[in-house]
Structure 1
Amino acid sequence: MDQALLVEILLEELPAKPLLQEFPHMLDKWQTLLSAHDLSTDTRLHYTPTRLVLHAPNFPTHTPTSTQEFFGPPVAVGVTDNALNAIGQGFYTKLNLEVPRMWQTATKNNKEVLYACMQIAPKPTTPLLDSLILNFLQALDFGKSMAWGEVKARFIRPVHNICVLFGSDEVPLPLCQETFLCTTKRATKLHFSKGFGWHKTPNIDAYFDTLEQGKVILDPKAREVKILNEIHALEQEHGFKVQVDSDLLAEVVAITSYPTALYGKFDPTFLSLPPEITTTSMQEHQRYFAIFKEGVLHAGFIVVGNTPLDNPTDFKDIVAGNEKVLKARLSDAMFFYENDLKSPFRPQNTGLEQIAFVQGLGTLASKVQREQTIGQALAQKYAPNLQEDLKEALSLSKLDLLSEVVYEFPELQGIMGGYYAKAKGYKESVCTALKEQYLPSAENAPLPSSLLGALVSLSHKFDSLLALFSVGKIPTGSKDPFALRRACNGILRICLHFNLPLDLQIDTQELAKNYQSFNTALLRDFALERLSHILENIPGYSLNIYKAVLSGIAQSQGAYEVCQIAQKVQALATFLETTQTREFVAVFKRVANITQNYKPDLEPSPKLFKDPSEHALYNAFYALQARKFKDYLEQLHALFALKEPLEVFFDNVLVNDPDLAVQNNRKSLLGAIYRAFLGIAEAKEL
């Protein structure tokens, strides 16, 4: 039998970002706790800034009937003269079972033992709720927790009340009360604008009605829809376009229980600021949505209030208050920006010498010098015509870290450097490269738009990786305080996008010569692990294909060149989806197995051939070797054409011929074919 269950945990206001990070994992943790009692039910999870709510419309009132097995002592120990002795009887007595005349046995660890099977009767689930709720709260991980008053347990915020509605009876929660020193009333609170008193909720229907009348929208998705609908209405009314950032929207949903979107304005004078300053000030500091008209920033914003008001005058007061706050913010930003423009923006005597980078790695000035060395090597390899521009861009790249705007808005480092360089008359391409030097800033973030910007970004990211690896600050597990995984992802994505032939082994070793000595194979493997995740977007991709490509490189001592690896994976994934995979792989695995212990790389001699199938295979293979292929996929199809002559060869000749010269000649032919395929992948890994 089932009945509805609702659990409301009422707390102090929750911080949005930790809540949003943990929210996707909450239901899984709840279901894991239920499964420990053989319980399973569809549960919905809601939240507002001050509550977490679990709602299961059909929660079991009893645990299911279950069977439990017990294994006793070996029959040789528990049975004497075909009768249970004291040891055998003790096994059943401990289980509170009547000692049977005819006992059961089972085999365990290759021994015949006494055996009993008991049916566990259903138990009411009401007594389980106390520990389930407590364990659920203790399983939540918000990153940080706090202590309060005399409460020994730590949690993200103080717990005020735990309301459990499960049938008509009170559900005792002694463990929760003792742990959090909270109340367990069958009651809730409304939106703060409706007062702070308790409102009784004798049942679940009453609970939902109370919140609805009390201006609390429990479902975060419903709050999001309300915000978006109201934004759309404002767009239609005023003819502008609101920039709805998904992260900002999620945060606004998390800090409101009854959201209302309102339109505010600011002085158009502030539009003379770089738009990134204005939008950052609005989004990061005030949680406002920026507005654009015809693609240009508009002197307005959308603020989402958390107060249900019916009087338009009250809305005006809220908007006016937010306009006043934003004016102060933007006035400060204007002051900082104008001060920065008065300062010189040149690489001499910058003050970067006074700012430490990382312990053991000098100052930011030292980092700039290292980046310039890397940039010179990259430019020589990829774009000799950009050497001077790259040198200039790198010499300017960290100067904006000394600016007042970046001190106030750290998110704008790099971007502001581009504006300051433009104001001082530097080339447009250099200014753009400065703006893009930290791109990509996240997994799916945009890449630099130019090769110069890509080289500036590569120089920055390469130095961070090489420098930190050289002093042993290598990411472990989930810990990556210097965001080196993100830096490595950025390098790989840039190389793939701009088709830069970066060899993760040779080039890394060459660039690492200017750093403290370390095992560069660690960095190579670190990058290869990141590359496997990036290539997951290739249709038909599998980890086996990726491993086969890397194994082929290792065995053939080939190049760990990023673009080549991606092309090989792409070709194999496409080829294996459209070809008789099993037969193809089987033939080349046979070739690999035969030649795995045959080391000499001798050229096969047709003079030693005894069978026409040898000549046919030899001619087919060397005709293939003479061709130039446009890509690896075409080469794979050509290798696949060897399947038939290989099968005929295996049917007609004995590779391990008694004549050692003939045997080695046949293995040389197969070895040459194997090495050709090894240039793409190791067949045995597929």
Structure 2
Amino acid sequence: MAKTLYIEIGTEEIPAGYIVPALESMSLRMVRFLDDNRIAHGEPTVTGTPRRLVLHVPGVADCQQAVRTEVIGPPKSAAYDAQGKPTKAAEGFAKGQGASVGDLTIKQTPKGEYLCVFREEAGLAAKEILEKMLPDFIAKIPFPKSMHWSSYTVTFARPIQWIVALFAQEVLQCEYAHVRSGKKSMGHRFMSPVWIEVNDLEGHRENLRKNRVILDIAERRELIRQGAATAAAGVGGKVLADDELLDEITQLVEFPQPLVGRFEDKYLELPPELLITVIKKHQRYFALTDGAGVLLPYFVTISNTVPRDFALVEAGNARVVRARLEDARFYYREDQKVTLDNRVEQLKGVVFHSKIGTSYEKMERFSELAVMLAEKVAPDLAPEVRRAALLCKADLVSGVVSEFPELQGIMGRTYARLQGEPEAVAEAIYEHYLPNRSGGPVPSRIEGSLISIADKIDTIAACFGVGMLPTGTADPFALRRQTLGIIRIVLETPLRISLAEIIDRALALLSGKLTQPAENVKRDISAFFEGRLQHYLATLDEGASPDVIEAALSVGIDDLLEAVQRTKALSLFTARPDFGDLAAAVKRVANIIKAPETAPVDALLFKNPAEGTLFDELAKAEAEVGSRLARSDFAGALESMARLKPMIDSFFDTVLVMDKDDSVRRNRLALLTRTRDLFARVADFRKIQTP
């Protein structure tokens, strides 16, 4: 008989960012546990609030599925003597399996005849199994940080107040953190702090609603969205769309109540990004705009209670935000008294890292790198690149960025505009931080793109150069994200630059700080880039298979744009119905060459017409492929190569490569070496898996 499993863990307020990952883990781990223990079940659902994590699994079988296991024992020859009587080996096997000798059968296996016995394992009650696992299940719910409380040795995100664990209407008996499981949950902490008996999810959801708790995350989120929009409309505004803030606030309240607040018009002189940051990041309020998108002196906050006096609470919220805005206004005005050029000098006192040097030294290094790149891809923009690179870190020592670090680059752009810098310089100061998150936009202008690449490659080279490599659990300098950022900028701009060249130059500029040989560092950085590029290619919508990616990238990644184009062309080419036969032919060529034969092919040594035919067609293909690769026409190059297949097949069908005559044998190997090398200009076909 199928039953419903319901688990609710009630706590003090859990941090907003902890809730959804914890719920996802609970669902995955419970499904894995039930599957591993042969307990049939339906599709689980999870939901929660700041004070409760809920898991609901319908259709859970009340006992395990019985299992019949086949156990193979000793060979028949060892199990029975010449008279056909069981030996001690047979008797010992039967006893070990809890069976009698009469239960044993003979099974024919690839290795011969062996004893066999079938074991019937009855299913245990699901309730008994679940009760044993629940304490460990609760203990292993993952959180970024957990805490101890009271004198208990166990940990959780926040102190546990109640545990509801039901299997149908029956309580699953367990205990964690000195809290015993039961059937009672709690209403809203302030508006309805009463115990509520739980019988089923639907009934419990409605009972919680009556006690001022909206259990469903999606419902709570929509109530906040609609409530904020209605409140904003009341003052003639619109909520500035912000899904990230909406998601966070959803996990901060159990019973959302929108409230409107107002601040003085004078604060609208602040840059919009600064004003929004104060309202959003530090107060968790929604900013409001008019129909044209201009900020209004209003905000919407979401309370977790329905206040007795709305005006009093709204005034208190305004008083709090006013203090933060006044701080921002003070710093903003003070910052304008010092030019960015003067702030650059202050970077000499800011240590980027004790092993790498100051922020000023870092700026000097990546400035040179950025100008080098500009002179290669956009010489006319070199002056703007040089100026923007000089100023792009200056706002790190400004008052606003010291108070609001998330505004680095944004405030630099603002101050650059205020002091009359060209727009290209101001925009590059901001854009050199891009992309600043996974999937975020890359710089829109060449100036910002080049400085971003230079800054990131300097960080990567410096960290690798002093042994600060990312691990599976730690990447404090976000080297993976910065490497992927460079890849995306190069591909999406697009840019044709030499990765090896910029790594070499970056390491040369760091020569006095490296703790290991530059060639070793370069090798490690190149391998790191290749790994990130493989990951990037595999995640594309039209992503190639891992073996094709590896085959294409084995040619090299110095030109990232070319490497990606080559991979995509190869991936499409492998979809051809005749690709398997071509790959087999190319692999046969590669496999027969134990060591490359570098001597030139001598046509006078040919003894078989197939040698001459392959030689002539290979020469034509080499010319065609060279021409097509020069234009980055990888699809065309592969087509030219594919036309060699009949000649390769004929060669192997009629020619003995390992001829007794040394000169003939080496000449044939030289011909095959040239053939292999032609295909290797696009990919290492040996790495491609074919049926």
2:187 pairs, out of 187, 190, 195, with 190
Structure 2 unaligned runs (5+)?
none
Question: 1:31 matched to which residue of 2?
Answer: 31
Q: What secondary structure sits across from 2:555 in the alignment?
A: helix
Quickly say closer, same or farther: Cα 1:141–1:644, change in 2 above 3 A: same
Quickly say closer, same or farther: Cα 1:167–1:589, change in 2 above 3 A: closer
**Aligned: 1:572 with 2:573:** no
**Aligned: 1:485 with 2:470:** no
Distance 1:20 1:322 in 2: 28
Task: Answer yes or no: is the 8 Å Cα contact 1:340–1:403 preserved in 2.
Answer: yes
What is the Cα deviation at residue 451 of structure 1? 1.1
Quickly say closer, same or farther: Cα 1:168–1:140, change in 2 above 3 A: closer
Cα RMSD of the aligned pairs, angstroms, is 3.0
Distance 1:71 1:677 in 2: 51
Bigger mean CA deviation after superposition, 615-624 or 672-681: 615-624
Question: 1:274 matched to which residue of 2?
Answer: 271
Taking only the aligned residue pairs, the percentage that are identical comes to 31
Question: 2:645 matched to which residue of 1?
Answer: 643
Distance 1:281 1:105 in 2: 78
Question: 1:601 matched to which residue of 2?
Answer: 598
Q: Deviations over 1:174-216 (max 9, x none)?
A: xx2xx41114331111123432121223455542331132232
**Aligned: 1:63 with 2:61:** no
AA aligned to 1:449 is S
Distance 1:644 1:475 in 2: 49
AA aligned to 2:417 is K
Question: 1:299 matched to which residue of 2?
Answer: 297
Q: Deviations over 1:373-424 (max 9, x none)?
A: 3234333333333333223222222221111111111101121111112222
**Aligned: 1:514 with 2:509:** yes
Bigger mean CA deviation after superposition, 493-502 or 354-363: 493-502
Question: 1:675 matched to which residue of 2?
Answer: 677
Distance 1:253 1:675 in 2: 60
Question: 1:588 matched to which residue of 2?
Answer: 586
What is the Cα deviation at residue 439 of structure 1? 0.9
**Aligned: 1:428 with 2:423:** yes
Q: What secondary structure sits across from 1:342 in the alignment?
A: coil
Distance 1:670 1:238 in 2: 80
AA aligned to 2:7 is V
Question: 1:400 matched to which residue of 2?
Answer: 395
Task: Answer yes or no: is the 8 Å Cα contact 1:345–1:420 preserved in 2.
Answer: yes
2:219 pairs, out of 217, 222, 225, with 222
Quickly say closer, same or farther: Cα 1:618–1:90, change in 2 above 3 A: closer
Q: What secondary structure sits across from 2:345 in the alignment?
A: coil
**Aligned: 1:552 with 2:555:** yes
**Aligned: 1:409 with 2:407:** no
1:439 pairs, out of 417, 434, 447, with 434
Question: 1:542 matched to which residue of 2?
Answer: 545
Task: Answer yes or no: is the 8 Å Cα contact 1:347–1:395 preserved in 2.
Answer: no
**Aligned: 1:359 with 2:357:** no
AA aligned to 2:361 is S
Bigger mean CA deviation after superposition, 500-509 or 12-21: 500-509
Distance 1:348 1:31 in 2: 56
What is the Cα deviation at residue 453 of structure 1? 0.9
AA aligned to 1:251 is E
Task: Answer yes or no: is the 8 Å Cα contact 1:193–1:308 preserved in 2.
Answer: no
Q: What secondary structure sits across from 1:45 in the alignment?
A: strand
Question: 1:341 matched to which residue of 2?
Answer: 336
AA aligned to 2:671 is L
Aligned residues: 672
Q: Deviations over 1:352-376 (max 9, x none)?
A: 2222211222222222222233234
AA aligned to 1:637 is E
Distance 2:580 2:337 in 1: 70
Question: 1:127 matched to which residue of 2?
Answer: 128
Quickly say closer, same or farther: Cα 1:99–1:644, change in 2 above 3 A: closer
Task: Answer yes or no: is the 8 Å Cα contact 2:259–2:300 preserved in 1.
Answer: yes
Distance 1:654 1:235 in 2: 85
What is the Cα deviation at residue 18 of structure 1? 2.4
Task: Answer yes or no: is the 8 Å Cα contact 1:492–1:531 preserved in 2.
Answer: yes
Quickly say closer, same or farther: Cα 1:209–1:512, change in 2 above 3 A: same
Quickly say closer, same or farther: Cα 1:199–1:456, change in 2 above 3 A: same
Aligned pairs (5 A) from 1:8-407: 8-41=8-41, 42-68=43-69, 97=98, 99-101=100-102, 103-104=104-105, 116-173=117-174, 176=175, 179-231=176-228, 241-292=238-289, 293-307=291-305, 314-347=309-342, 350-407=345-402
Q: Deviations over 1:307-341 (max 9, x none)?
A: 357xxx85555444333322222121111101111
Question: 1:556 matched to which residue of 2?
Answer: none
Task: Answer yes or no: is the 8 Å Cα contact 1:9–1:53 preserved in 2.
Answer: yes
AA aligned to 2:305 is T
Distance 1:23 1:205 in 2: 19
What is the Cα deviation at residue 25 of structure 1? 2.5
AA aligned to 2:47 is H
What is the Cα deviation at residue 482 of structure 1? 1.3
TM-score (norm 2): 0.89
Distance 1:551 1:168 in 2: 61
Q: What secondary structure sits across from 2:597 in the alignment?
A: coil
Distance 1:285 1:112 in 2: 75
What is the Cα deviation at residue 222 of structure 1? 2.0
Distance 1:600 1:614 in 2: 16
Task: Answer yes or no: is the 8 Å Cα contact 2:618–2:644 preserved in 1.
Answer: yes
AA aligned to 2:552 is V
Distance 1:591 1:239 in 2: 75
Quickly say closer, same or farther: Cα 1:306–1:379, change in 2 above 3 A: same
Q: Deviations over 1:451-486 (max 9, x none)?
A: 111122122111111111111100011210111111
Q: What secondary structure sits across from 1:286 in the alignment?
A: coil
Bigger mean CA deviation after superposition, 63-72 or 433-442: 63-72
AA aligned to 1:180 is A
AA aligned to 2:212 is K
Q: What secondary structure sits across from 2:162 in the alignment?
A: strand
What is the Cα deviation at residue 574 of structure 1? 2.3
Q: Deviations over 1:212-264 (max 9, x none)?
A: 32232222122223333445556777775533333222211211222344554
AA aligned to 1:219 is D
Task: Answer yes or no: is the 8 Å Cα contact 1:187–1:202 preserved in 2.
Answer: no
Q: What secondary structure sits across from 2:282 in the alignment?
A: helix
TM-score (norm 1): 0.89
Q: What secondary structure sits across from 1:426 in the alignment?
A: coil
